[in-house]
Amino acid sequence: MAFYYEEPSRTFSEYLLIPGYTSEECVPDRVSLKCPLVKYRKGEEECPITLNIPLVSAIMQSVSNDTLAVALAREGGISFIYGSQTIADEAAMVARVKNKKAGFVVSGSNLTPDNTLGDVLRLKEMNGFSTVAITENAQPNGKLLGIVTSRDYRISRMTEDTKIREFMTPLEKLVTAPANTTLKEANDIIWDNKLNSLPIVDDRGNLMYFVFRKDYAEHKEYPLCMMDDEKRYLVGAGINSRDYMDRIPALVDAGADVLCIDSSEGFSIWQKRTIDWVRAEYGNKVRIGAGNVVDKDGFRFLAECGADFVKVGIGGGSICITRETKGIGRGQATALIEVAKARDEYYKETGVYVPICSDGGIVYDHHMTLALAMGADFLMLGRYFARFDESPTDKLMINGQYVKEYWGEGSNRARNWQRYDLGGKNNLAFEEGVDSYVTYAGSLHDNVEKSLYKVKSTMCNCGVTNIPDLQKNAKLTVVSATSIVEGGYHDVTLRATTSMNNQ
């Protein structure tokens, strides 16, 4: 006879947090949202990779590219570059994030002295950069010969066929800095010499980076920025259980800080083989997450395989139709509660803490706090990030409203059959995701700041100032259908259209 769970499968909207005692210490500015990204052993001083905010972006074509990865790293989280693209293209995306060293920018506009003013203008129109590096071979790391900025030319007094060598600022008139210059030293040079940009060159005269005056204020604005020891942004990358032997080396070479197997169901031999190969080839030097699972057996399996973190959730994503098409999955709250308990039991038995990631089911900002209270160490979000300027999709006007495109990895548009691989044929037999739109929401920075302030405020209402204490001390209650209705506005007529907190 099949096994039947006695309790129903529940979602976040079926729970509320009960307030705790709020002391004078419980103010949002004192709340820490730091959380572990990868596993660590009991007694170690700290987790090898700790996030400053508990948010990571989903491994999706319509969400996680290099632009969003940089924006989220600045806020204190991390992105997982989508793996449903060629190995070369994914590695290039990872490399672009790592090359955009915090404060040290690889030149994005490069020409030679033999190019023309017309070339400068076209390049500026294409990418918006006003500083153009002039190198021997027009490469970002070529031998530096000079630079061109908007101060070097006047369109009204020059013709577009004017050679760059005639109006550029040559190397001998530039202030430059050597390769070992720190960001603080570079900023001091910029301020002392009243510069807008400072080229960093190696001992052979090759351009390495620019440091820009405008970036100084920007970096002050992002105190939680996720950076490695070389001051480069942290970035993750998605992989599959098919071409991992070729994909993983390319991503590691490109600088990926952490990998994650992107799959709709992780309790499988395919994920074990992938993790086994990583441990055989790289030992523990390469960090790799796995999933997705919805119960203790799935978690235990992946933890024993050696996963660095485990993703929880099947069928809860806004564009996912796995439950509809296959009848498989579990309510996100119920799944998370059981897996969190299994994680804690595993930690007591082995001394190894394997973080869990709640993936799917987040509809409102308060669901973030509920997920963390139920035991999630961090949250993977797709629709939430797809709405922002930094996501890779187009912004469109549909029925008088700005929207952004958003599609599932199991949709025909994505054709990501590897994510649903069960060892069968190499194609997508049926869809497990939809192609859709989400309401455009503006910049990532503004929205993340607002969402996390709500999380911090709720934690203060619960009497805690960090995530571990929230997980330990939170009190949750199941609510009835009538209570859910009561929780919103009711029995009134709104005076005007109200902006709700629906993400």
Active site residue ranges: 320, 419
Residues in the chain: 503
Burial 207-230 (b: 16+ CB within 10 A, else e): bbbbbbeebbeeeeebeebbeeee
* Calpha distance 77→385 (Å, rounded): 12
Q: Is the distance from CB of 235 to CB of 256 less than 8 angstroms? A: yes
Alpha helices in 114-182 (DSSP H): 117-127
Residues 6+ apart with CB under 8 A from 490: none
HSE-CB at 82 with a 13 A cutoff on CA atoms is 23
Q: What are the percentages of helix, strand and coil residues in the chain, rounded to 5?
A: 35, 20, 45
Residues 6+ apart with CB under 8 A from 153: 117, 120, 162, 167
Name the DSSP letter for residue 321.
Answer: -
Q: Is the distance from CB of 62 to CB of 437 less than 8 angstroms? A: no
Residue with tokens 């001390």: 473
Q: Nearest 5°: CA angle at 311, between 309 and 374?
A: 100
291 phi, psi to nearest 5 deg: 145, 180
* Calpha distance 478→458 (Å, rounded): 18
Amino acid found at 59:
I
